[in-house]
Amino acid sequence: MTKYFGGLAALKDVSFDVAAGGIYGLIGPNGAGKTTLFGIIAGSLAPTSGTVSFHGRDVTGVKSFQAVRAGIARTHQISRPFKSLSVLDNVTVGIRFGRGRVHGSANVRREAERILELVGLSHSTALPASTLCVGDQKRLELARTLAAKPDLLLCDEACSGLTDNEMVSVLELLCRICRLGTTVVFIEHNLKAIFSICDRVLVLNFGEKLAEGPPEQIQNDPSVIEAYIGKT
């Protein structure tokens, strides 16, 4: 995958595979191209060159709604709730316009309540989304994404801005989501979080693939250490 913005290569010849059923980490310094890669996979950006294959189907350049209906959904670094809607209605939107095809208002509400229970927001269903704290907004972002019934969840910095206890809770939630059958690709700057739950990790630096492998290998890779903390 290659993506240019003008003369700047945000991604250059990046290639990788994600096996179904696991949690795959994506790390790298600021500006490495991580979110750009998510945007291409999720349909909000078109690549300059390269292809995206999902379940054996070429989904390169599809629109965002088409990616969702194919089974790909994403969260964002900064949560984007419908602020004037209640927490419950935010999730209802995801159900009605995702790929779940739940029919009937009562069934939609039950499904929304089930998802909010899963993410730990069952106590906040009637609250306006704008009143939630940062941690709960992160959970709502996950809930809205899960409402679309994705096979692949692209999770962009779900732990940013959280306390240690909140981070542990979100990591446990991502593991639970994976166990329920959704493959997770996880961008995160907190390396402790990445290495604690990911089966495999891809490292980007200046838009290029720097390393890939299991967490133990990545933690001890000299090129990764240099990219993060420089030469000693």
pLDDT digits (tens, 9 = 90+) for 12-65: 999 999 999 999 999 999 899 999 999 999 999 999 999 999 999 999 999 999
pLDDT at residue number 150: 95
Q: Are residues 211 and 96 in the same domain?
A: no
Position 149 pLDDT exceeds 70: yes
Could you tell me if 72 and 60 are in contact, meaning their C-beta atoms sit under 8 angstroms apart? Answer: no
- pTM score, whole prediction: 0.92
User: Does residue 59 share a domain with residue 123?
Assistant: no
Which pLDDT belongs to residue 168?
Answer: 94
15 and 42 in a single domain? The answer is yes
Do 44 and 1 belong to one domain? yes
Of the residues 147, 179, 200, the one at which a domain ends: 147
Whether residues 131 and 179 share a domain: the answer is no
For the residues 206-217, what does the mean pLDDT come to?
Answer: 96
Domain boundary among 147, 175, 202: 147
In the predicted model, what is the mean pLDDT of the chain? 93
Taking 80 as the threshold, does the pLDDT of residue 203 lie above it?
yes
The whole-number pLDDT of residue 227 equals 85
Mean pLDDT of 173-196: 95
C-alpha to C-alpha distances, 137 to 69, 79, 170, nearest whole angstrom: 24, 6, 12
| Residues 141 and 30 placed together within one structural domain of the fold | no
- My answer on whether 17 and 38 are in the same domain is yes
Residue 102 pLDDT: 79
Residue 231 pLDDT class (50, 70, 90 cuts): low
Q: Tell me the pLDDT band of 229, cut-offs 50, 70 and 90.
A: confident
CA-based R_g, the chain, Å: 18
What's the mean pLDDT in 87-109? 89
Look at residue 230 and tell me whether its pLDDT is greater than 80: no
Same domain, 156 and 226: yes
Instruction: Tell me: do 161 and 231 sit in the same domain.
Output: yes
Asked if 52 and 112 sit in the same domain, the reply is no
Q: How many domains does the chain have?
A: 2
> Does the structure show a pLDDT above 70 at 131?
yes
- 1, 29: one domain: yes
Among 105, 123, 147, the domain-final residue is: 147
Asked if 106 and 7 sit in the same domain, the reply is no
Q: Tell me the average pLDDT across 94-106.
A: 84
CATH number at residue 178: 3.40.50.300
How does pLDDT run across 58-81, given as a tens digit for each residue?
A: 999 999 999 999 999 999 988 889
Q: What is the pLDDT of residue 232?
A: 57
- Which residues span the domain enclosing 90? 80-147
What is the mean pLDDT of the segment spanning 195-224? 95
